Structure 1
C-alpha cells in the first residue's frame, strides 16, 4: 500500500542533496585546475577505478609508482632528475582529483538509490537524474582519455581533450543546477520573450568562452602575450601570425596567439552582451529578471578583471584558480537568469507533475 507524499516531505531532501552534488562538482573543477597548474595530471599513469582508490602505503609502492612515471615523455624531457619527494607532491594532486571524482559518484548514487526506493521522485525527475549519472560515468572515461593523450608522445595532455573534459564537467554541473532550480518551483516567473532569447544567447556565448578558456589553459597560453589591451604589440595581431597553420581552422585549437586572442574577443563580447541584457531588463521593468541581469553583468565584469590580472601576472596559481571559480559563478548566475525567464512550467515537483508515493 502507498500514500501520496507532499512536496515538502521528500523533495526538500532531494534539493539539499543536489546542492551538495553541485558544490562537490565545483570543487572538483577547481582541484582539476590546480592539478593542471601544478603539472600533476600525468603523475598517475594507469586507470584503476576501484583498486586505485588507495594511494601507495609502503615504500615499495611509492617506488613502483615513481618508476612508472619515469617511463613517460614528461619525466624524460621535463622532469628528469625529480626526487621521490617532488614526485609525491604532484602525485597527491592527481590522486586527490581522482578521489574526489569517486566521492562524487558515491554521494550521487547512494542517495539517488535511496530516493528511488522511497518513491519520492516523479518520473521526469528520475529520467533526468539517470542521465546525469550516466554523464558522470562518461566523465570518468573522458578523464582517462585525456590523461592517456600525454603518456606516449606528448609531454602534456591534449588541450582538445582537456577542453572536452572540462566542458563535460560544466555540462553536468549545469544539469544539476538546472534540476535544482526546477525543484524550487520558480520557473517562468517573468514573461519577457526578448529577454528570454537574450538569456539563451548569453549562456551559449558563455559556453563558447568557457571552451576557449579551457584551450588557453591546455596550451598554457596565459603565460604568453602578457600585456593588455595590446596582444603581440597590437590591438589586432597580424593575420599572418593568427593563421599561419594549415588548414586555417587548426589555428583555433593549436595556435597560442589565435586561441588567446579569441578568448579575449569573446570576453569583450560577453561583457558587452551582459551589460546590454541588464539595460534591456531595466528598461523592460522585468521584475526579478532585473536583479538577475544585474548579478550576471556584475559577475562578468569581475570575471573579466580577474582574467586581465591573471594574464598580466603570467598565470599565478592563486589568480588562475580565482578566475576559474569566477567562471563557475558566472555560469551559475547565467543558468538562474535563463531559468527565471523560461516560460514553460516545471514538471519536476509533485504538485505540477505526477503524484509520488512511498512504501507505507
Structure 2
C-alpha cells in the first residue's frame, strides 16, 4: 500500500464533492458536515476488519491474510472485540519465560499475555481512539544469568470515517480523502496507518469507493456518533539489538576479545543487524564502576600493554537500530573477570 501508484484519477470538481461523485447531494469544499464524537461509545468497541500491520516482520500484514501462499508471519486473529496474537514463534518457550505485556495507556487499550499449557498469546482489548505503545517483556533463559528483553510496537486506533485522525468525523475527513485520491501519482508516501484510516469501505484499498462510503455514511447515519466501528493498525517500533552472554576472553597471545550473542527482536535476519561500535576501558574495581576510557581503542579486540597491568579491562558494546537512526542506542559493559597480569 505504501509508495506511488501508476494510475492517476482525473481531477474531481472542487465545487461539490458529492455532486462530482454522482451522489446527488451538494456539499461545497468550504461547507461542513455535522461533527461526530469519535470517542468510545461503550466499554468495548467493534473492531473493523481488516486489522493491518505496518512493518512488524514476524506478524502477518493483515488479519484477512488467509491464503497460505501469502502467509509470512503470525496471524492476527480478531474475535469478540479482541485481537489475539500467538507469541510462540516470536518469543519461544524454550528460550524465553515470564512473558508480560503492558499498554502505555490502559484507557485506550488494555493488553496482557494469556498463558495456556505453556502457549503464550497476546490479547489486545481496544476501548477508544488513540495510540498506545505495547511493550512485550520476557526473560531470556539461554544465559548463565537470565536477562530481560523487551520488544515494543504501537497500536493505532481511530473511529471508522475519521480519516485525518483529529478525533472528529466531518467534512475535513472528506477533504483529506479527496486530496489523497486526486494525487495518486505525486502524493507523498502514506503509511499503512494513514491508508488504513482512509479505507472507509474496508476493502483493504483506498479508492473512489471510499469517498462514496464516507459520504453515504452521513446520508444514512451509519457513520458518526452512532457507529461503534474502529480501525486498528499495528506499527513497528525499532529497538536496538541486545548483547547477551557477553564475556572477555584471551583471543591469542596478549590479545583480549569479546564473545557475545547479538539478538535483534525486530529483525528476521541476523545479516541485517548493524555492526556494533566498541570502546575499551580500564578499571580498578571489579564492577567496572570507576572505568576510564583507553584512548583510540575502539576495535572489537584489544592488545594488552604494560599500562593495562593490575587493571580490569572493560569493553563497551553499543548497538544501533537496523532501520531507524533516531532509535536510542543500547550500551552494554562487559567486565573482565580478573585483573590483567602480564608474564615476567
Whether the TM-score (by the shorter chain) exceeds 0.5 is no
Task: Tell me the TM-score normalised to structure 1 length.
Answer: 0.23
Instruction: From the two aligned structures, give the one with the greater helix fraction.
Output: 1
Task: Tell me the TM-score normalised to structure 2 length.
Answer: 0.24
